[in-house]
Amino acid sequence: MTTRLNPYISFRDNARDAINFYESVFGGELTLSTFGEFQASQDPAEAEKVMHAMLVTPNGLTLMAADTPNGMDYNPGNNISVSLSGQSEDEGELRGYWDKLADGGTVTMPLESAPWGDTFGMCVDKFGIAWLVNIAGAQQEQ
């Protein structure tokens, strides 16, 4: 089983600075993509904002971060969610978690095909906890 559970921190405009700081603290390998790379924002001023950053450390820590687009609410103190992610062979398991987490909650982005090739969705469960679910697309498997 390759499903991962990890924190996902949202920022307004400084996710790049924050994740670079965390890399200096924890070490590891950092990957980062911008909204512009995936044409994921209608606002050209947001092209260089971080759409997704992931830091994976040698000792197994994973931390994810992103900038919040200007059109979405950003509330410091409530800017941490939980990410569930896995490979395509984990799809049944991840969709099962999604169904249970979304039941009685609010789906903020349906679990469906995303511009980067994965299946992705966001919801807030009935207790007010924000969840992100990402199922890797076939092109990312090794």
pLDDT tens-digit readout, 19-35: 999 999 889 999 999 99
Residue-level pLDDT at 140: 40
Q: What's the Cα-to-Cα distance from 77 to each of 9, 22, 132, rounded to whole Å? A: 10, 18, 18
Q: Is the pTM of this model over 0.95?
A: no
Spatial distance between the Cα atoms of 1 and 47, rounded to a whole number of angstroms: 35
Domain region containing 48: 4-140
- Return all residues near 61 (Cβ < 8 A) that are at least 6 apart: 26, 28, 55
Identify residue 24 by its one-letter amino acid code. S
Q: Can you tell me the mean pLDDT for 38-44?
A: 84
Cα–Cα distance for residue pair 67/34, rounded to 1 Å: 9
**Closest residue by Cα to residue 131 from 96, 107, 95:** 107
The CATH code of the domain that includes 126 is 3.10.180.10
Residue bearing tokens 């390998």? 29
Strand ranges in the chain using DSSP code E only, listed in sequence order: 4-11, 29-34, 50-56, 62-67, 80-86, 106-113, 119-124, 130-135
Q: Into how many domains does the chain fold? A: 1
Q: Which of 10, 6, 21, 128 is nearest to 75 (CA)?
A: 10
pLDDT tens-place string over residues 73-103:
888 877 889 999 999 998 999 999 999 999 9
